[in-house]
Structure 1
Amino acid sequence: MPIKPPAGGSTHVKVDASTSPTRPVDVDVPLLGPSGRRGSGSGLFVGDPQPRAGSSSAVDADATGATPAVIIHAAAVEARLPAPQSTLDHFVISARAILPEINSEGLRIFKKRAYAEVAEGDFVLVAVDPSTGLHRARRLSELLPGPVMLRDADSGFWYPRTVVEPTTRTQVQRYLPETTDLDADAFIARFDDKDVAELELKRIELGLPQLDSKHISIPNHQNRVAQSHEVSEAFAMWGRLSQVYKWQGQSDQRVYRDGQLAGFRLDINLTLWPVDKLLSLKFNSVVALTLRGYAPLNPDVFFAQFPNIESLTVTSQLITRSPFHGAMDERAYSRFNMDSRFTGLLARLPRLRELNLQDCDLQADFSVRDMTRLQVLRLGSTQGAAVNDLPGPLRFRVPVQHRNDFLRTDPDISGMTELRVLDLTGAGLRQIPFGLNAENGPSRLEVLRLGDNELSVAPSLKAMTALQELDLSNTGLDRFPEGITNEIPGKVLNLANNRITSIPESIELRAGCNLIGNPITDPASLRRLIQARIRTGADIWLGEQSNDQSANLWLRNVPQEQATEKLELWNSVSHPASSLKIGILKLSRTPEFHVEYPLLQRRVWWFLKIYSERGPDERARLNDILINEPSPGKMLDRLEAEIREYDSGRQNQPLHHLPKRPRFD
């Protein structure tokens, strides 16, 4: 009985695998069609698997008028992809019969894929290169894109680009005639490819009519009353929007990366933001965005307008409200309502690397979960009062009756391995952020700021080998954190205003340390602090200032016969508000006041005696030091040096031995 040929009129032939070692298993590969290109009569191209019978992508050969073809079935061998091809012939298909009409971009869209016509009846599958916006040829079987495709305006056919031409000032100024040479050069630095620049310039040209000043309108949010200066601000903001839309702006708005222009900063006062306008525009140049105040934004639409945000700051804005019943206008802060829909979109912003939220109303479902690409996270002075009992992602509740309470929560930053800066200053924390010391935590942190939180327990720094700055000031700590060495942190260690009473011998006191406001009482630690000030030139520690503003502060253990004389001296040069009295009182904060009081006492009375003998000119120079030198210990050193410098004849030698300065090898 004769064998029935397969449907479609083609004939299938079995061959041995050795005759076709590069063909995959059980794949029907069409031979060269009448046009001389592979698959020219099939509507498919090399690497695209044949559709299964009955599928929506199957094409009836009789319906398309295809000629019979010989199909080869390869036997089982190891499948190997063919080497990438660079010529356009390897991307061309013939599929006019199944492709729809050309769209406004000169492409035919079929099953969400774009096809560009390169000749009469021949097409190339193309995709947009996300880094340039240009179309590039591609094949489904290959990940690597093909050549860049451009369209001829006259014929409508697409062709592969062979030469990359540079952008010129003439090209930029043809679309934007008012552009200065400086702005044109900045644009060229960002778009140095002529074809890429052309795409962006055409996009800008199409959107410019929407930025005409006649479209501006000031909304009325939260019983908003727009003052005259705010109307001016709204128009100025509109002007800045127009500028950055055209890749123009002031020097302080420009953001550079590796010496090249990356984009622009934009500050938006949302209380004046025309939310019903500009919905079709994209501000591609904005990479750093600041939002002040609140407006009922549609986050999907809003973030679509700013697709390239790398840094986002949200903060409050002072506004004027009109109360009901004819009451006088009142001033209040407009705070952004950070709901879950808005924060959910934050996690999906592909370029977002820095997030700063200050004075926001953060809702109970706010979370930083999934923001693992963040490198900088700052949350502070936020409005919150209650927390979840269970640890988890960063969450906040903002009861109306507790608008002045700070955030009290257990933030979860586990998985944020890219974090370089974590700033939770004044966020209302009660314990260290969840995941900070975890294996998948931010071990490469360079800046960690947890000041002004009631922590009591410090995080361990053992794994934070890259840490340069640590701020744990005003957190209630009574000891130094674990892991501090001579290199960690590298630049700043701020433990001010805690409950630390002594300094471990293993801790090096160096420039950048701040222990001011701690009740340090250990004599050895206090002497080390004196040496550290002499070595670094800065106060690492200062205690509480004495409340005793009388001469009695410096008359301790003075014999009675000398006390009367010294008291008269004090009264002769001091009055309640004098700079002399204020400056001398500051010396009670120094370590010397606690461990070298007798020597400090003699130095004070020697200075007062010399001061009383000097004329107005020299007193003026000494008063300048008393007023402007912030370090009490350095102040006394400078006063003594000034006296010795002025008294060239050494007629007034100190009545005490000056403190010895330690030698450092």
Structure 2
Amino acid sequence: MIVSESASQVPATVPMLPVLADFWISAAAAMPAADAQGFRIIKQRRYIELTDGHFVQVAKDPVTGDWRAMLASELVPSGPFLMPDQHRRYWYPKDSNGAQKHTGVDEDDVEAFAPGPSSVLSGRLISQASVERRVRALYPELPDDKVIGFIGDRLHSDPHSVLVRLEKESVALREELKDWLVNARSAHPGSESGLSAEGLASQRQKREQFSQDLQAIWCESVSGQGFADHSFSTFIDFSGELPHLSVRFEWVTELVLTARNIDVSLGRFLDSFPNVRYLILESVRMEDFSPAIFQMRDLQHLTLNGNSLRLSESSAEGLSRIETLTLLDLRDNPLGLAPPVGFMQGLRELFLRDCAIDEIPSGMERLPALTRVDLRENEIAIVGDELFDIPDTQNLHLDLRDNPLGVVARQRITHYLENASLDRKVQIRSDEDSLDVDDSSESSDSSDSGVESDT
């Protein structure tokens, strides 16, 4: 069982063990590239890069022959033992059994933390200053008062595990974005083949800006202890596929991406945003539904406009099961299939303009909250019985303009409206001369006719 004691109970004979953060250096910008062994050599001194992005000087321990962190003022290294990863790119602390530990601070030195200048666990000490340094390294823009608040809110019980996880995420995000920036051009050579040198430079700069925006929104996890609502909204001016990241932005609840380049594709970018409630993607190519959308359990507003999206029977079924939706907007997509909406009990607005569908979405008659349906510019010629099961007292506006409605469909709509109750609120809008109604109905916008002309 783990027991923590206050700093005042620390025996005077217990030494303060070295913490890897105490050996960080601030000369990273001037570092040369790593050699085959992972060393960066300056004036015969060896430096290595840790998984959290910090650098330390190292030297061999004269007794064990292993590499240890050292201070510039030391002749014999006194810091934690270190070892490289399998690619000899980054270095980790090493325990007595030779196991690798993916953290910027030796796990043996950080097993518990309590407020105060230091804490003790089985004779092992950790200073609050070391924890603060690690937090500031993760969030360099965080004010001092927020650093203290973060430590109190997030690190009061298990600081080591939380910091290790965050440091791993930070490193993973930087490395994955770095790889994406390197591979973006080679993965989509055709999209940049006609660009000038200036255009290529502009594309790279815009990708780098997008990368920086993602890292900035990751840092916002500090606010609200990582559970507050955040919005990520940006324009995409570069070409190619968006990055696939292992980091999950669980605190982002609103995601808005607007592409200004026709060669932008979604890929698996949405995998990193599981808790989105408001999703808006405009002109981001997505020929089939991203499976990640079906995993967004709290999704309320789904807007996918101009995404070259087509519905298969399986994706239409998956879409129909997003029961939390209150707004569904799929305008300007060649869907081919009308999505069934009967399970979306809270759906209020449905926009399917110019979606290459030839029927009214099934299930609309089971949606009492539905108030607006836009089905303009489709291929709807036949109207099924379900439409006329909608209570005429429901406050619903249905727009069927620019559809090739057949004679039977027009007659059925006219009959439905003319035989509605005096309390009728349903309005069905069609082309000015498409319904077989009398002159007074055609020219009226009143609720008596339920038909609104284009004028």
- What TM-score results when the alignment is normalised by the length of structure 2? 0.50
- What TM-score results when the alignment is normalised by the length of structure 1? 0.36
* Greater Cα radius of gyration, structure 1 or 2: 1
User: Greater relative contact order: 1 or 2 (C-alpha under 8 angstroms, separation 6 or more)?
Assistant: 2
